[in-house]
Amino acid sequence: MQAEHQDMIDFLRRYPPFDALPVDALALAAANIEVSYFKAGSHILSFGQQVDAWYVIRSGAVEVYRRNGDLYNRLSAGGYFGQFGLLRESSVRFPVTALEDTLAWLIPAPVFHQLFTQYEAFADVVEVEDRTRLRHTVARSEDANELLTSRIDTLIGRKPVTIETSGTVREAAITMSTEGVSSLLVMNAGVPEGAMGNAARMAGMLTDRDLRTRVIAKGLSVDTPVSEIMTPELIYGEHHQMVFEAMLTMMRHNVHHLPVLRQGQPIGVISQSDILRYESQNSLFVVSRIFHANSVAELCALSGEVRTCFRRIVREDANSKMIGSAMAVIGRSFTQRLLELAEQQLGPPPVPYCFLALGSMARQEQLIVTDQDNALVLDNSFDPRRHDGWFLALATFVSDGLAACGYRYCNGGIMATTARWRQPLAVWERYFADWIGKPTPQTLLDSAIFFDLDGVWGNTEWAEHLSQSIAQQTRHNARFLACMARNALLRTPPLGFFKGFVMEPSGQHSRSINMKRRGTAPLADLIRVHALAIGSRARNSFERLQEIIEADILPHGRGQDLRDALEFISMVRIRHQALDLDAERQPDNNIEPENLSDFERKNLKDAFQILSNAQKFLKYRYQAGRIR
């Protein structure tokens, strides 16, 4: 029997609350396990049913419901249920259904009670399951908005209408009229279906706008092959993406039609109007107004709409990633339009350049209260005496414009208006080489923001080039990572010794907690360190976390906990700002805990505790033995 118990013990000890138990307690549990299989869709526990065992999922997944039928929780391998029933008169309180084919281990009630009374740590986790509660809170807000959480393939009405590259403009126009579509997918002639799957077969897109601007306006013959007027680089979406992601892709690339692929095959094309039909007053709408504004004054007039849009998305229960991305896209659009207007005014640039967004905009985590962090990368042929006048004028125009539109100037001067942050690519490469190669806590403190960078305008491939070379240099660079880790520990979560909240020490906010400084910023900082350690090129904290989880450098489950903590703290901050806007107050990041519900307060403590634990781990992982 011994060997089999060992396997069971090994499985159990990978998951809380078992990881808190001594081996003989695990052996007791393992020796008494019973096994049961449940087909997907079958009921495992029904309300009121007598429960005689505690259930641990060995494989598969289940859904736990409230009595009113609302989803309470989803659990997979290592998850457990039935404890509420066992602790209260042995009758089931939360019905459970198998989501997948599930193999469950049943720990008989007497053994469960023995573990529960004997081991305090075990009882704590089982009884008040922090993570589950937090995840449940987070899951509730994710599930609420159907539109923003629907997949794009639900918007596809018909198969894509296609034409071969050899077709003519006339044929394209006829096909579009008879099929009643505003776009055609252009397919490479002669490549058999299914060959290579995707990109090889799809040559480009053709829209009715292309016919207008590239054929009629230029007086081209209707016998011109479509391959000459199509848009060759294809921006596309994957069928499993969310509508929200498709929206962002379209905004980002300023396209109105998006082919959708499933396993490399086009299954349809969605247009902005498909999405707008569902959502009339959303961020997409604001973005299009921004691009139609013809002066800084007109742009400023839109800041009210930005706030309305923000409140609307929050009210629709979008999650923080959606909100952060939507606001970042709006911020980018303001910047891009200002750059267009500046170029109109100043004439063409003397040498090529790339306008960089830094910090929260680059991470796509922008909210309503935000300052501008940006920089300029210039062509290596840049000659300060001849060219810098133009670029300073450009930077000043954009910076003043952004400030007028509600994006405050950066206190630290991290803006393209500062000469030091307006440099040729070669100088930027040297900056990064210095920061990474000769790290000191002070220099990194000033430069950390540059490790979240994104190209907004111009030669954006330079931004890609920089972030690629950063990822290569930081990976496994112990000295650099230790310095970054040290800085990431400077801002601590507001928890006191007895796990009570610690308020801001002084000033007008002395009864409050700054959710950015004490919450989202230290989380973003610590996630950035792990991301740089694995050479991740993701910029968004959630995407970074996903790669960190996949790289398996954190203890089991901690990455997921961090994700939930980030989501919860961000949402408290976001909702607070939306409430301020509703009440026509100037939104800020300061939360007064006494204004929160008990439930929110408890969750917030849990989330800060996760941050605190993650900081301890960061210290241990990157700094152990390196501080002399």
- The whole-angstrom separation of Cα 99 and Cα 58 is 14
CB atoms within 10 A of CB 394: 23
Among 87, 103, 147, 449, binds another protein (CB under 8 A): 103
3-class secondary structure, 225: strand
Q: Using alpha carbons only, give the angle 618, 621, 622 rounded to the nearest 5 degrees.
A: 85
- The whole-angstrom separation of Cα 274 and Cα 256 is 10
Locate 97 and state its tokens.
Answer: 């259904």
> Given the complex with another protein, which of 76 and 510 has the nearer CB atom?
76
Minimum Å distance from CB 87 to another protein?
A: 22
Locate 93 and state its tokens.
Answer: 């309180």
Dihedral sign, Cα of residue 341, residue 343, residue 344, residue 345: positive
- The whole-angstrom separation of Cα 292 and Cα 565 is 39
Minimum Å distance from CB 37 to another protein?
A: 4
Minimum Å distance from CB 9 to another protein?
A: 13
CB 367 within 8 A of CB 360: yes
Minimum Å distance from CB 556 to another protein?
A: 17
> Given the complex with another protein, which of 100 and 305 has the nearer CB atom?
100
- The whole-angstrom separation of Cα 89 and Cα 285 is 55
Minimum Å distance from CB 76 to another protein?
A: 11
> Given the complex with another protein, which of 78 and 494 has the nearer CB atom?
78
Q: Per CB under 8 A, does 74 bind another protein?
A: no
Site for another protein in 450-469 (CB under 8 A): none
Q: Per CB under 8 A, does 397 bind another protein?
A: no
Minimum Å distance from CB 58 to another protein?
A: 6
Q: At what angle do helices 320-346 and 384-404 cross, to 10 degrees?
A: 130
Minimum Å distance from CB 40 to another protein?
A: 8
Minimum Å distance from CB 102 to another protein?
A: 7
- With tokens 């496994």, the residue in question is 476
| Total residues at interface with another protein (CB under 8 A) | 24
Q: What is the DSSP string of 403-421?
A: HHTT-BPPTT--STTSGGG
> Given the complex with another protein, which of 105 and 501 has the nearer CB atom?
105
- The whole-angstrom separation of Cα 320 and Cα 572 is 10
> Given the complex with another protein, which of 11 and 236 has the nearer CB atom?
11
> Given the complex with another protein, which of 78 and 406 has the nearer CB atom?
78
Among 21, 26, 56, 58, binds another protein (CB under 8 A): 58
What residues contact residue 269 under an 8 Å CB cut-off, 6+ apart? Answer: 156, 160, 161, 181, 183, 185, 257, 258, 259, 260
What residues contact residue 456 under an 8 Å CB cut-off, 6+ apart? Answer: 332, 335, 336, 339, 355, 356, 357, 374
Site for another protein in 36-55 (CB under 8 A): 36-40, 42
> Given the complex with another protein, which of 36 and 117 has the nearer CB atom?
36
> Given the complex with another protein, which of 52 and 600 has the nearer CB atom?
52
> Given the complex with another protein, which of 44 and 269 has the nearer CB atom?
44
Among 97, 102, 372, 374, binds another protein (CB under 8 A): 102
**In the stretch 1-40, what mask flags binding to another protein with x, by CB under 8 A?**
x-xx--x-----------------------xxxxxxxxxx
> Given the complex with another protein, which of 101 and 317 has the nearer CB atom?
101
Minimum Å distance from CB 560 to another protein?
A: 20
Q: Per CB under 8 A, does 101 bind another protein?
A: yes
Locate 151 and state its tokens.
Answer: 């997949």
Region near another protein per CB under 8 A, out of 94-102, 202-210, 277-285, 289-297: 94-102
Minimum Å distance from CB 100 to another protein?
A: 6
Among 19, 100, 171, 504, binds another protein (CB under 8 A): 100
Q: What DSSP state is assigned to residue 423?
A: E
> Given the complex with another protein, which of 38 and 391 has the nearer CB atom?
38
- The whole-angstrom separation of Cα 167 and Cα 149 is 38
* Cα Rg of the chain (Å, integer): 28
3-class secondary structure, 357: strand
Among 27, 49, 59, 225, binds another protein (CB under 8 A): 59
Q: At what angle do helices 541-551 and 558-582 cross, to 10 degrees?
A: 170
β-partners of residue 463 are none
Q: At what angle do helices 478-488 and 461-474 cross, to 10 degrees?
A: 100
Closest CA to 513 of 438, 589, 615, 437: 589
> Given the complex with another protein, which of 3 and 627 has the nearer CB atom?
3
Minimum Å distance from CB 49 to another protein?
A: 13
Minimum Å distance from CB 6 to another protein?
A: 10
Minimum Å distance from CB 99 to another protein?
A: 11
> Given the complex with another protein, which of 1 and 624 has the nearer CB atom?
1
What residues contact residue 523 under an 8 Å CB cut-off, 6+ apart? Answer: 541, 562, 565, 566, 569, 611, 614
CB 58 within 8 A of CB 36: no
Site for another protein in 104-143 (CB under 8 A): 106
Q: Which positions lie near another protein, rule CB under 8 A?
A: 1, 3-4, 7, 31-40, 42, 58-60, 77, 100-103, 106
